[in-house]
Structure 1
């Protein structure tokens, strides 16, 4: 059995190693290559008890199952042509106007993130936005940056929008519909703040010329994937019903993915191997192992230190302070570990504190590359399209958007808590 100080040091060192591997991914290794052995070392050395590791795995199990189902659902929607149809509609509606294109990208990215999760926005929508900007002859930078910012900021609306949301949803004690009602105004406030900054920050790019897509070109891509849209709508309805009757929303997600999987297999649009690949099993193992590593850090003293920084209560100053601590922590250790650390500290205070922490860990990562795994993935996609992403520019945009969006969202949450009730 390790002494307390060594157990704390080992836990922190292994957490940093896991996060560094997730950020750098040496030799293209999956994130789980370091995370799973790190969790095993901590359990084997007694830095975290076997019972606490099992408890953490049990707590994360339904969340991981839900994440797998949503990833498969998003990929099958792409196979059905949903994102291509969104791109064609956006190109037509923009009519060669970059400012209008930005509005449409904000709308599509915000809804995609809210309904199909931030992974769908980063992995599936970002390439479509690149292609749409190229077809119009518009500068892609404002629209592509919108994808990464909204994959974080716009993920505050529904429990299903982000893995961090699922964890916060379980800790908040509120139902699906109440969660969405409380977060609707903060979602609108945060997205609106982002848009206001984007219009000013990218003013020169948005003034550059573009051209409308020829009618005959877009007419070939007007087929709306009605079945996919109906399945997504039915899945959202399933989330509400499952929450109302006390069933885990992972079952609704699995049902939606199952319906599209059967159709995709029957029409040979997908294969069993492709479905397993879409579930991203290595990433699921990473999430599970990361949860155990973070639990070890919390057990060995981090919770006590943060407990002195996180205020109690649901007053506006308290909510702002909680969100600020969460945003800083997300940029230091990544947003997923940050929410795992903060939930035990905020849950006893009530849903207002939990949701304020969620705003911090979701909006805050727009400040640095390492703030969220979605941003790191977006960076790889942008590089694949030969577009330069300068650290200085990314950081300046984050310094302008994050404080404004975070304050606007927290104030809106405070209002929602008083109008709807926490």
Structure 2
């Protein structure tokens, strides 16, 4: 609700800026042409992920992770890492932080393990593993066209080593911090029965088809909306009670739309020009580290999405500079609670599950893992 209120206020401010001529209608039209497909993708993917969760797809994957672990805590944790990475890469950061987190917590409790190491794994990897594909993070979708890359495969080719650093370093820190809890044994549990096999297999098939479409270069918003339409039709017959207006991410859409308009106004009026000029540079390691560091600092100050939008002109249309900025805003947003919307949503799910983590401890751990991940991610971009 708070996000929707802020987004509504931003839209009002944007409307006033348009009325006063601070943001010309021609610039607004160009902005709309760029961001409407992105918002359509967010809408479609959110509906697909929510209905797939209702169908029990993520529950089943979590149970399979418990079997893969073979009674060893480290094995279960490794399976959760793989699940979180795959979920983030193909279904976006929010799916992992919001939908996978409570499922992983429930899984840990079912096998008698402390949930915190697994919960922290999901939120860190939701952010840091979201570097590999355009669909993994909203910032990536905004950046991919400016980078001059033709589709998801070239994007992945540029980002693969940074994405790998975004997985390896947080996991290494987690292993050190929770070494006393991640090595031991647990009693495996059986895979739960499907409550509605038709809904489950339909949702699974839609997810597989969506992943194939997104990696094959189909327009992401077309693929997401088509998948959502198919799954809504299935749910109308198999689980009509799940088709609620709350399934539509109204708050996120309003917030993002308002943010786009206001930041575009700041660019148009030249307010951000001094900052952009100060960060403009080349593609040497030092310049890339400065830009990535600025992205991380801005993300922890004002949230990673507005941080990317404000600093985007400093990256220009240079692929390596845009990549360094993405590393900063995506992998560096692990310190403050508001640095990533997914982190705030994750903490709300954590609290609703009765798992307590103080923001003080979260920030202290973030001060360790964020700089290491950003520096490593930027330095391996040239690899």
Tell me, yes or no, if the aligned pair for 2:292 and 2:327 is still in contact at 8 Å: yes
Q: Once the 2 structures are TM-superposed, how far is the Cα of residue 226 of structure 1 from its aligned partner?
A: 4.5
**Is 1:213 equivalent to 2:207 in the alignment?**
no
Aligned positions of 1:50-129 closer than 5 A: 50-129=25-104
Aligned positions of 1:253-264 closer than 5 A: 253-264=224-235
Q: Please, which of 356, 366, 376 is the counterpart of residue 344 of structure 2? A: 376
Q: Please, which of 158, 166, 181 is the counterpart of residue 133 of structure 2? A: 158
Output one character per residue of 1:221-247: Cα deviation in whole Å (capped at 9) or x when no partner: 69895543433232233234445xxxx
Tell me, yes or no, if the aligned pair for 1:137 and 1:210 is still in contact at 8 Å: no
* Corresponding residue number in structure 2 for 1:201: 177
* Corresponding residue number in structure 2 for 1:139: 114
* Corresponding residue number in structure 2 for 1:341: 310
**Is 1:251 equivalent to 2:222 in the alignment?**
yes
**Is 1:366 equivalent to 2:341 in the alignment?**
no
**Is 1:407 equivalent to 2:375 in the alignment?**
yes
Output one character per residue of 1:218-272: Cα deviation in whole Å (capped at 9) or x when no partner: 36469895543433232233234445xxxx321122222222222222323565x
Distance 1:377 1:255 in 2: 26
Question: Which region of structure 1 is more displaced relative to structure 2, 78-87 or 92-101?
Answer: 92-101
CA separation of 1:62 and 1:356: change in aligned 2, threshold 3 A? same
Q: Once the 2 structures are TM-superposed, how far is the Cα of residue 388 of structure 1 from its aligned partner?
A: 1.6
Question: Which region of structure 1 is more displaced relative to structure 2, 394-403 or 277-286?
Answer: 277-286
CA RMSD of aligned residues (A): 2.3
Tell me, yes or no, if the aligned pair for 1:90 and 1:132 is still in contact at 8 Å: no
5+ long unaligned stretches in structure 2: none
* Corresponding residue number in structure 2 for 1:391: 359
Distance 2:278 2:335 in 1: 21
Q: Once the 2 structures are TM-superposed, how far is the Cα of residue 210 of structure 1 from its aligned partner?
A: 5.6
Distance 1:50 1:260 in 2: 37
Q: Please, which of 315, 328, 339 is the counterpart of residue 284 of structure 2? A: 315
Tell me, yes or no, if the aligned pair for 2:332 and 2:373 is still in contact at 8 Å: no
Tell me, yes or no, if the aligned pair for 1:172 and 1:354 is still in contact at 8 Å: yes
Distance 1:332 1:43 in 2: 27
Q: Once the 2 structures are TM-superposed, how far is the Cα of residue 133 of structure 1 from its aligned partner?
A: 0.8
Distance 2:381 2:67 in 1: 36
* Corresponding residue number in structure 2 for 1:190: 166
Distance 1:381 1:76 in 2: 18
Question: Which region of structure 1 is more displaced relative to structure 2, 188-197 or 281-290?
Answer: 281-290
Question: Does the residue aligned with 1:203 lie in a helix, a strand or coil?
Answer: coil
Distance 2:58 2:214 in 1: 22
Tell me, yes or no, if the aligned pair for 1:138 and 1:210 is still in contact at 8 Å: no
Q: Once the 2 structures are TM-superposed, how far is the Cα of residue 170 of structure 1 from its aligned partner?
A: 2.2
Distance 2:137 2:313 in 1: 19
Q: Once the 2 structures are TM-superposed, how far is the Cα of residue 380 of structure 1 from its aligned partner?
A: 1.0
Question: Does the residue aligned with 2:19 lie in a helix, a strand or coil?
Answer: helix
CA separation of 1:320 and 1:29: change in aligned 2, threshold 3 A? closer
Distance 1:375 1:74 in 2: 18
Tell me, yes or no, if the aligned pair for 1:323 and 1:356 is still in contact at 8 Å: yes
Q: Please, which of 3, 7, 12 is the counterpart of residue 32 of structure 1? A: 7
Question: Does the residue aligned with 1:308 lie in a helix, a strand or coil?
Answer: helix
Question: Which region of structure 1 is more displaced relative to structure 2, 106-115 or 32-41?
Answer: 32-41
Tell me, yes or no, if the aligned pair for 2:295 and 2:328 is still in contact at 8 Å: yes
CA separation of 1:312 and 1:366: change in aligned 2, threshold 3 A? same
Q: Once the 2 structures are TM-superposed, how far is the Cα of residue 122 of structure 1 from its aligned partner?
A: 1.4
Q: Once the 2 structures are TM-superposed, how far is the Cα of residue 45 of structure 1 from its aligned partner?
A: 3.9
5+ long unaligned stretches in structure 1: 1-21, 416-422
Distance 2:240 2:6 in 1: 29
Question: Does the residue aligned with 1:151 lie in a helix, a strand or coil?
Answer: helix
Tell me, yes or no, if the aligned pair for 1:365 and 1:371 is still in contact at 8 Å: yes
Tell me, yes or no, if the aligned pair for 2:4 and 2:250 is still in contact at 8 Å: no
